[in-house]
Amino acid sequence: MMKWRDIAAIARRLLPYSPGRYLKRLEAGHQAGVDLYSDGKYVESERRFANNVELARSFGEESSELIDYLKKLGDFYHSTGNYSSAEQPLLEAMTITQERFGMEDYQVAPVLNDIALLYYAQGRYQEAETSFKRLRKIFEEHAAASAEMAICLENYAAVLRRLDRDEESTQLRARAKKIRDADQSSSIGAPSLP
């Protein structure tokens, strides 16, 4: 009779990457990418992030892991100023998220925010406005008095300023200030646009 330890050893050889092992590889690959990025080794870092996307595809086309690592790859490209490369993984993450959760679900907000910020960085203010308008609607339904809403309003206001719509911009900033004043206890790491 085979012992459990022997069965486990055979299973590891036949199935070398269980979901837990994949997750550990993803985490290790991501950390390596972050470390390389911190050292200024962007080509190697990009390779790690891109490899993680391919590994995450093994979880399935609608997996949370794939969404997460597509978003991280898009964020990497955005942070290095490679805006044209950033758009594709972010849009793919958005498509998967919308298919999985629905168009106006709160789960869409992080990817939609990244897309809006990317459009802003590229000077594509009309597209940024459309994205922030949609993001604002999602927050109105799910987190109207949150710090995330305040940041969304501030960023949306920055876009409106670029579009010479100062009155609307001022109104959004005032609403964001009210939200922040009402919730002094919360802290959030995401900065607002200038």
What domain range is 157 assigned to?
102-186
Say what the pTM is: 0.81
Per-residue pLDDT tens over the stretch 125-159: 999 999 999 999 999 999 888 899 999 999 999 99
CATH number of the domain at 129, please. Answer: 1.25.40.10
User: 183 or 41, which is more confident?
Assistant: 41
Look at residue 172 and tell me if it is in a domain: yes
Which residue bears the tokens 């962007």? 42
Average pLDDT over residues 27-36: 91
* Phi, psi angle pair for 44, to nearest 5°: -65, -40
Between CA 77 and CA 18 the distance in angstroms is 30
Measuring CA to CA, how many Å separate 189 from each of 27, 85, 123, 148?
21, 25, 24, 10
Distances, alpha carbon 152 to alpha carbons 107, 167, 187, 194, in Å: 15, 17, 15, 13
Report the pLDDT value the prediction gives residue 188, as an integer from 0 to 100. Answer: 47
Please determine, for residue 13, whether its predicted confidence score (pLDDT) is greater than 60. Answer: no
Residue 175: inside a domain: yes
Rounded CA-CA distance 139/36 in Å is 35
| Count of domains observed in the chain | 1
Would residue 91 count as lying in a domain?
A: no
List pLDDT tens digits, range 57-101. Answer: 888 888 899 999 999 999 999 999 999 999 999 999 999 999 999
